[in-house]
Structure 1
């Protein structure tokens, strides 16, 4: 049993409510410090002195549970408890489960003493039990405590409004996230940081170690309170962690990240939550403005790069000078790289998010390995114009070494890390060109490389235009109808996919040509009997001609089969 004077409320701390946010009110320890409770004694539940009191209630009936609310200080003379069939220990448990702050009892006339099991239950749950002096009236307690609560809430509101006006003035004066964070950190006198949804620091005030601690806390809060946008508040005394507050930065229904305050010494107060919430609103405004400006700039850059790749941007000197204003260096040998999402293009939010992630991954990777690279996101692909390695000669493998390989690997890793639904992208690289005037041809080469590479190697393919071999020659035919006509004229019935028997015969022809008409090897690969394969060869020759004897016919058949593999290009 604990019989502790009320004058020592213990260390101040912030109380985390069941909703995941801090509440406005007075901790039980402060309530015990008001003058009307000068003679009150805390007899159990000392660890719950940080519970927040927002309202008061008087217990007049035994079945009080239907009338109580969270964060209440419940007052009673003990009259409703006399002769109640419910054990008082169970009453403590029920009140605690309903989120009450504390129970204050005036003993003597109706309740001589509290049973030990009730006190033990209160201590175990950290539920404060308070013995009131005989000479204090409930009306005096109600008036003074409610007045203090209202005064506290008014002071909190006044301060948060003042902070809000100061932060808005910063934004109206042209300040950004860093200025907002600096102001909040100065007001709270603790480190503060704004993080995006991937825990990247957008702005921070504090040492690198403190910022890292805030990143970890934001990640924990996002995991602990996913339904509330990762909002959390709380305090941890001891273990070297200190108090922290995490508030989501939300605007227009979009979650832009978190604003975090961290105090190793546990100096955060309940009122600081309101300041941080106002700061989150202002930060959302700044982020939204920055995104709007970035979107306009990005569209302008993408439109200009599209004009360059279409040959509509003017002469080389004009293009080079204009791109220099974007930080793009096109006055050097460059290559065009096209990264295209695999799978059927969609129109939903998920597809748009995947395209944005792809653009962000390529922009970051390109800037890291080639600061002068031009990167833009088009409708269904991301295009980068990057510097060519000086050692790369004609036919060299740009994807085997050099900056392009490093960019592809890094962009792939970043894209996979930040996309919730597993997606892949394919990459195509053009030949090296020496002047902007040649970029339209290089762009077409990269497009053909990415799409032919995907057809040949599947999703996630990486292909250089010079590695396409015969497919490179076939891709240079500008009229697809000409290729389709060549396939129909050369393969005849075997060009269609309608009948399984004809598709099977075409497969037999393909393996025969791949093995240079080696009947035994072809039969082994296809698991046919030798005589069955001889019969199939006879049937194929009746349909296509004597290809086993005519080398030119075999060449035509091989090319036609290659064109079929490029279907959809």
Structure 2
């Protein structure tokens, strides 16, 4: 069978995801000492990688072979058991050998047809060696080529690593790193963060979009790209249109680097370069995160002082905020967002997250990032800061805070493995920095009362709270509970369905200003039935149809019951 070189790579991925350096079987057949060798079976296995060589001298060779070996034999150990040759191919393939090279004529005259058929079926190369070539010549030349190839690949990878490190030492960022890798490999390169958002890219727009689609198709829980060199090719030796390596530092997943070539020109030798790029990218990202964390803390501390009234007079506050890019010299409103935790326990630490960084902390950081992105998009002069249990934004009146909350919700929910919600409170508009502490208090009150009234995910404006704003001023919940029990009596509980139904009748009566006909229509009761119920309610609560003060107390008590969590 004639041999044709498929142009295989110099390395491949092992089953554990680590790189395996060596020559393909096709390249081994191209060395001068094997110029007259013939491939007689297993053509599909030419891409198998040869890392080492071994000589078969004993019948029980299976105990001594290792993966990626080229096994040489004269057939001497098999001369008395030719019937085992067919099984030998399957056993060697099962142990991950690269190929078997046999020299015929002295101990074996030919190979059984079933052995060749087995090699073709398994894609296990069978090589017929020329009789005038010594094993020592083959060993010396192939091992020398393997070592030279390994040295060349490692030298190139090290050179790339030094170039990328110099970029960082020279003050370059992730974009410069990506540009350098794209130039070295002559492909498009994209860097994504852990949420698959684009951090940097280099290449034609259509190629960058193709890589973005590759990342999106994986799905939120798909970890296929986590191993080094996830690729389109299925066999060692295949070229690929894309390669993916993870960016990991300190046990935390910082994202992915994807290289893409529309012509499928990427080889697995490029994985080493991408891995070095991922290492440098992790350095750049963690460095930027450290700087951002310090800057964010400084900004958050100053905003906290402003909202507490400790930052000085208006002129000082406005001038200091201008250095951050914040405009506090215009009418603004304060927005407070808090994670909803009602009815659910904090989930366990996310897989891959470093110790001490809980899922709750990660969610809080994600919420701050979502609001930062939303405010930057709608109001670049607005301020955002993440505090311990909330995110606070100060935005201009030309921006609708409810729209900001909608934008932040969409960003916050991207790629979340577990659904989380947050509630939002909005203050009145204020015209001076001195009024911001009061506005902050209004927004905080709005978020809490809004959640009590409407549940998780509520968006509440301070001016829309009405009587609930006054009720929220009562600092002692026990006092409110006592007022509800004294005013509603047995109707305050939820255990008896009949009493809950009566309470609903009372609520609709009060909402319709005691309009019996309208109440009967809303509740789908007969007029006489409703009259009976009114009489029963008055026996339990007093003559509320005649006493305006009693009606007011009943209305307030029903409002308190609507304020969940009090």
TM-score (normalised: structure 2):
0.85
Aligned residues of 2:71 and 2:99 also touching (Cα < 8 A): yes
Root-mean-square deviation (Å): 3.5
Matches within 5 A, 1:310-459: 310-344=308-342, 346=346, 349-389=358-398, 403-459=400-456
Q: Which residue of 2 aligns with 1:276?
A: 274
1:29 deviates by 1.9
The structural deviation recorded for 1:170 is: 2.6
Question: SS of the residue aligned with 2:100?
Answer: strand
1:248 aligns with 2:224: no
Distance 1:483 1:51 in 2: 77
Name the structure 1 match of 2:99.
102
State the Cα distance separating 1:251 from its structure 2 match.
0.6
Equivalences for residues 162-561 of structure 1 within 5 A? 162-217=159-214, 226=223, 229-234=226-231, 236=233, 242-344=240-342, 346=346, 349-389=358-398, 403-476=400-473, 483-484=480-481, 486-492=483-489, 494-495=491-492, 506-507=503-504, 509-514=506-511, 516-517=513-514, 540-561=537-558
Separation in structure 2 between the aligned mates of residue 63 and residue 525 of structure 1, nearest angstrom: 90
In the TM superposition, what is the alpha-carbon distance from 1:479 to its structure 2 partner?
Answer: 6.5
Distance 1:220 1:101 in 2: 34
Using the TM superposition, name which of 283-292 and 15-24 deviates more: 15-24
Contact 2:375 2:384 in 1 (8 A): yes
Distance across 1 between alignment mates of 2:509 and 2:221 = 61
Per the alignment, residue 399 of structure 1 pairs with none
Partners of 2:301 and 2:370 in 1: CA distance: 20
Output aligned runs, 1:52-63, within 5 Å.
Answer: 52-63=49-60
1:18 maps to 2:27: no
- CA distance, structure 2, for counterparts of residue 161 and residue 241 of structure 1: 23
Checking the alignment, whether the CA contact within 8 Å between 2:231 and 2:240 is kept in structure 1 is: no
How many aligned positions are there?
A: 551
Structure 2: gaps spanning 5 or more residues: 350-357
Which whole-Å deviations, capped at 9, do the CAs of 1:420-473 have from their partners, x for residues lacking one? 101222222222222222222222222222222222222222222222232234
Deviation, structure 1 residue 16: 4.0
Pick one of 125, 136, 140 that aligns with 2:137: 140
C-alpha contact 2:187 2:261 (8 A) present in aligned 1: yes
Cα deviation for residue 48 of structure 1 reads: 2.7
The 8 Å contact of residues 244 and 260 in structure 1, kept in 2 or not, is answered as: yes
For residue 528 of structure 1, report the CA deviation from its aligned partner.
8.8
1:131 equivalenced with 2:140 (yes/no) = no
Aligned in 2, Cα 1:480/1:320: closer, same or farther, shift over 3 Å? Answer: farther
Aligned to 2:354: none
SS of the residue corresponding to residue 418 of structure 1 reads coil
The aligned residue for residue 355 of structure 2 is none
Alpha carbons of structure 1 residues 84 and 513: separation in structure 2 relative to 1, 3 Å: farther
- Residues 466, 225 of structure 1: CA spacing in aligned structure 2 closer, same or farther, 3 A cutoff? closer
- Equivalent of residue 154 in structure 1, options 136, 151, 176: 151
Unaligned 5+ segments in structure 1 are 390-401
Q: Which 10-residue stretch deviates more, 41-50 or 332-341?
A: 41-50
Structure 1 residues 137 and 215: alpha-carbon distance in aligned structure 2, compared to 1, 3 A threshold: farther
Distance 1:79 1:228, change over 3 A: farther
Residues 62, 224 of structure 1: CA spacing in aligned structure 2 closer, same or farther, 3 A cutoff? farther
Deviations, residues 224-260 of structure 1 (Å, cap 9, x unaligned): 98277243255759xx984433211111100111122
The corresponding residue for 2:29 is 32
CA contact (8 A) 2:228 2:271 kept: no
CA–CA separation in structure 2 for the residues paired with 1:103 and 1:377: 64
Once residues 296 and 320 of structure 1 are traced to their aligned partners in structure 2, the CA distance between those partners, rounded to angstroms, is: 22
**Separation in 2, partners of 1:31, 1:91:** 22
Residue 489 and residue 313 in structure 1: after superposition, are their counterparts in 2 closer, same or farther (change >3 A)? Answer: farther
Aligned match for 2:38, one of 25, 41, 58: 41
Give the drift of 1:291.
Answer: 0.9
Deviation at 1:557, TM superposition (A): 0.9
- Secondary structure of the 2:449 match is helix
Contact 1:221 1:230 in 2 (8 A): no
Residue 17 of structure 1 deviates from its aligned partner by 3.0
CA distance in 2, matches of 1:414, 1:123: 53
TM-score calculated relative to the size of structure 1: 0.85
